Amino acid sequence: MLKFGLTSATDYHGAKRSRWKRRVSWQLLRTPIPPSAADVTAFEGIVRGLQLSSGVFRTTFRGRFLTLDPHVNRILAELYSADAPLRVEDWAASDCLTSKEWAATLLTEFPHASLEASDLTLYLVEVIHNNESFIVEPGGQLLQSIRPPFVLNCHPPEPWFLPVNHLLMRASVRRWAAIRDTVGPLPDWSLGHCRGDCERPPFRLRQIPLIHPEAEALRRTTSTFTIRRHSVFEPAAVPCHVIRTMNIFNLSYFSPERLRDGIEAVFASLLPEGVWIVGRTLDDDGRLHTASILRKSGDCFQLLERTGSGSEIEALALSRGR
């Protein structure tokens, strides 16, 4: 009939075995600085289930590319000298934890390299009004409404078989639609690390960062590791040597026409002879990847290597310019 929500870190940690019975508030992604080990574990557990309004999941996890990274680093070592000032970009990097893990080996093997992680969505916005919190994307799309003891998912919506949640969710969607214009344009917090609140009486706006605390810490301490907002359908501002796009250019997410736009964006972003790693992960342990490692050559891409059966868009990418 109904599901209550988990709105505090204490409840979340206490409800270890019964979490599936409750809705988890996206507010809990706002970890303290510095975070405890339990905060980090909670962040990783929660972010895995977050789905954006586009239908794309945020899913990523610690160690996801531990079998892929050495493979890619070896190919790069064959192509570039260790002192090359490589510019490497990891697109659609979600919370950037896997980028941070890649940086640990890449920046050791290529000490003059830099790694930029990017994603379209680096934070959510919590809009607090009366006794309700609306969790929205920076574009204003409503993901969740929190009215303790309820946490109501708005995208995807609460199902009919939980009628109380469903009816409360519909009421929240209506309330958000009614106040959306009055709240005004949401702040641009695209640097991701600003946690300041924003008072707009009668509303209060708070940021919910979606960057993993460890990636955030590396960004603060290492000038060669950066994070920025970027869409995989837009060319990079400055061409680079290597681009990784894992678990984003999937036929289940985008049409072939849209994927062609992505291929064009990668092509325009790579320097001549630049390398593109594209593919997807097949298992939950992150041991099995089916990826293609391509090289920009003239107007085309050439296949350097494959893991598994290669990317599902490999043929589309190889047809470019031919």
Ligand X SMILES: C[S@@+](CC[C@H](N)C(=O)[O-])C[C@H]1O[C@@H](n2cnc3c(N)ncnc32)[C@H](O)[C@@H]1O
Residue 86 tokens read as 């490589």
Contact call for residue 52 and ligand X (CB under 6 A):
yes
Report 232-271 residues binding ligand X (CB under 6 A): 232-233, 246-248
Residue whose pair of structure tokens reads 């930029």 in the numeric block: 116
Stretch of residues binding ligand X (CB under 6 A), selected from 117-125, 133-141, 159-167, 308-316: 117-125
Closest to ligand X by CB, 13 or 105: 105
CB atoms within 10 A of CB 195: 13
Question: Is the CA virtual torsion 295, 300, 302, 308 positive or negative?
Answer: positive
Q: 124 with 140: CB under 8 angstroms?
A: no
Among 9, 11, 57, 71, binds ligand X (CB under 6 A): 57
Residue 212 tokens read as 């993993």
Give residues with Cβ within 8 angstroms of 306, minimum separation 6. Answer: 290, 291, 292, 293, 314
Contact call for residue 7 and ligand X (CB under 6 A):
no
Taken as a whole, the chain contains a residue count of: 322
Report 64-103 residues binding ligand X (CB under 6 A): 64, 92-94, 98
Closest to ligand X by CB, 135 or 165: 135
Closest to ligand X by CB, 3 or 30: 30
User: Smallest distance, Å, CB 283 to ligand X?
Assistant: 13
User: Smallest distance, Å, CB 98 to ligand X?
Assistant: 5
Q: 254 with 100: CB under 8 angstroms?
A: no
Measured N-to-C along each axis, helices 97-109 and 68-79 cross at an angle, to the nearest 10 degrees, of 40
Closest to ligand X by CB, 96 or 146: 96
Return residues touching ligand X (CB under 6 A). Answer: 52, 54, 56-60, 64, 92-94, 98, 119-121, 231-233, 246-248
